[in-house]
Structure 1
Amino acid sequence: MRIDRRKGWGLAALGMLLVSTDSYFIRLSELNGWNVAFLVGCLSLPVHLVAQRVVDGGKPLAAFRQYRRPLLIVGALSAVSQISFITAVTKTNVSNVVVIVAAAPVIAAIVGRIMLGERTSRQVWLAILITIAGVVIVVSGSVGEPNLVGDFLALVAIVAFAINMNVWRRYSDMSRFVGLALAAMIAIVIAVWFIDNPFGHDQRAYFSVACMGLVFNPMGRIAHTNAPRFAPAAEIALFVPVETLAATAWAWIAFSEKPVVATFVGGGIVIFGMMVGTYGRASAPIDLGRETVSRDEVTQGMDPT
């Protein structure tokens, strides 16, 4: 099966560029992770529902009933990934978080092989190994330091993210807006138990979460969840380093958080890995051992629940 993967790569890159602003707005707000997760969930939920009505024509309950189980799975995974990432950013160096997240292709490739029978080429595996080397260099300086909790939460975020990309790819016709709306609802339900006076902060805090929850985060997630329609999850995950580069730049520009030498070296290696994984593969055949589930198949009697 041959498709032009560049559309998927472009959506992935755009999505990660938009989401890279999360770390900037989280730090700018000076709110704790739970408050940010709660407020962003409250703001992004209506955005996804309105987008679903405009793009898909409404009827979110009908869309949910058609793909009940996979939508619940992506909703839960998205919520866990976002909460873990937001909390990690408040507990450790931003550069460390985003470069750890750049290891997502490893898990995405393994899950894609198990879930979809999708074989990852030697070229992409080489890129993944290069990415691992870059990540090891970056996190080597944090072993034994207080930011290990933040690094672990970042690892949880990439595991949930990588699995999620494969579920989205498996059910290519599933409503992205309904899945993301479910993710926002689940994040709200989880975060509400841990929030601390989320409505008693200054204007800067609310401006930050408004930018994040109404514009950058939902738009980035919409772009990124559509990317697996056009390329394997392992290749989509290779574009996570776009966030690495951009988020590190935001932290440096806004907070004078100059990355250490290891972050520059490791980040450069990760970016090189992304280039290796995509070079010359725009129209490469997709080796898919198990077909994705489409809406037509569901209406013909294939029940994805």
Structure 2
Amino acid sequence: MSTTEYRLGLVLVTASAVAWSTAGFFTRLIPLDSWTMLAWRGIFGAIGIAVVFIAMQRRDAWRSVKNMGRPGWLFAIVSAIGMVFFITSLRHTTVAHVAVTYATVPFIGAALGWLVMRERPSKNAIFAGLAALAGVALMVGLGADGSLFGDLMALGMTFCLAAMMVIARQFHNIPTMPAACLSALLSGLVCWPFGEPFAVSGQDLFVLMLFGLVNSAAGLALFTLGARMLPVIETALIGSLDAPLAPLWVWLAFNEIPSISTLAGGLIVFSAVGLHILVEARRKEAVAPLPD
């Protein structure tokens, strides 16, 4: 993997974390139940991705869909299942437990990456992942009560996300945009029967469209593209930026001042990810071959 490809992967996955972190901001704007929001989020996300890749591929768009193959369908199905796990976990356990469980994805991803691809994580990535986990735990607190079923659902969601990273990493030839489009569509269709998607005002529908385009379409597309270019544990580590960024947007938009623990934990996560990226970038520059 070239240094240029590695840097591009960093940019894409970081951008996907920024896009996904807007979920809290949009849910504050939309006075609807979770199933209805996520149904429209998936539908609008799929439409947004489809418009982009049809404009890019034109006559080859349908061929890209047909060439998804089993890895592409597997990626989309795992993503949709992960969304169901995520929604169910939030309904049966605390947000704190979901966030802490999600923060273990670097280690689950590293284990799956080693089992499937024999991709050994660097010590620096492991230490950074531990620091990010500690930061997220500090942000949400470890004393909140949850339930075993909800915690298991959150763990299932975390395994699904780690599996998506491994699939994207191992199968470089997956048509990324069709796979991301199908993933968004499936998640929307799964949530559709459980909500009230037709009982939505015009204003709320507009905000839902923005939710789908920014959070689902941009987030999924950027993640799917970037995850192919990075080791699994690094993709997961950068994805942990979602946790400290989410309260930042709510603070800026609604003047909801974060707690001291949220600020401290967020600083730890940012520092862990930033230092890891800096160290890895310098290491790759040091081992890069000199030009002839």
Q: CA deviation at 1:89?
A: 6.4
RMSD after superposition: 2.9
- Number of paired residues? 283
Distance in 1 (alpha carbons) for counterparts of 2:150 and 2:266? 18
| More deviation, 135-144/186-195 | 135-144
Distance in 2 (alpha carbons) for counterparts of 1:192 and 1:235? 33
Q: 1:224-282 deviations in whole A, cap 9, x for unaligned?
A: 21112322121122212332222111223344544443333333222222123222212
Q: 1:181-210 deviations in whole A, cap 9, x for unaligned?
A: 211232233212312x22223344222211
Q: 1:149-174 deviations in whole A, cap 9, x for unaligned?
A: 77665544332212101101111121
| More deviation, 133-142/182-191 | 133-142
Structure 2 counterpart of 1:25: 26
Instruction: Trace 1:219-258 onto structure 2 (pairs within 5 A).
Output: 219-255=218-254, 257-258=256-257
Matched, 1:103 2:104: yes
* CA separation of 1:12 and 1:99: change in aligned 2, threshold 3 A: farther
| More deviation, 170-179/98-107 | 98-107
* CA separation of 1:283 and 1:268: change in aligned 2, threshold 3 A: closer
Q: Is the 8 A contact 1:24 1:251 kept in 2?
A: yes
- Tell me the SS of whatever aligns to 1:212: helix
Distance in 1 (alpha carbons) for counterparts of 2:176 and 2:186? 15
Task: Kindly provide the amino acid, as one letter, of the partner of residue 174 in structure 1.
Answer: I
- Tell me the SS of whatever aligns to 1:158: helix
Q: 1:86-141 deviations in whole A, cap 9, x for unaligned?
A: 66668887787556534322222111111211111111111112122223334444
TM-score by length of 2: 0.83
Distance in 2 (alpha carbons) for counterparts of 1:263 and 1:150? 23
Q: CA deviation at 1:223?
A: 1.3
Q: Is the 8 A contact 1:40 1:213 kept in 2?
A: yes
- Tell me the SS of whatever aligns to 2:249: helix
Instruction: Trace 1:175-214 onto structure 2 (pairs within 5 A).
Output: 175-195=175-195, 197-214=196-213
Q: Is the 8 A contact 1:252 1:259 kept in 2?
A: yes
Q: CA deviation at 1:47?
A: 1.9
Q: CA deviation at 1:17?
A: 0.9
Q: Is the 8 A contact 2:46 2:184 kept in 1?
A: yes
Instruction: Trace 1:47-58 onto structure 2 (pairs within 5 A).
Output: 47-58=48-59
Q: Is the 8 A contact 1:88 1:97 kept in 2?
A: yes
- Tell me the SS of whatever aligns to 1:53: helix
Structure 1 counterpart of 2:67: 66
Distance in 1 (alpha carbons) for counterparts of 2:202 and 2:151? 30
Task: Kindly provide the amino acid, as one letter, of the partner of residue 29 in structure 2.
Answer: L
Distance in 2 (alpha carbons) for counterparts of 1:51 and 1:236? 24
Q: 1:55-78 deviations in whole A, cap 9, x for unaligned?
A: 234445533443421112111122
Distance in 1 (alpha carbons) for counterparts of 2:231 and 2:189? 32
Structure 1, unaligned runs of 5 or more: 286-305
TM-score by length of 1: 0.80
Structure 2, unaligned runs of 5 or more: 285-292
Distance in 1 (alpha carbons) for counterparts of 2:173 and 2:163? 17
Identity of aligned residues (%): 27
Distance in 2 (alpha carbons) for counterparts of 1:209 and 1:149? 30
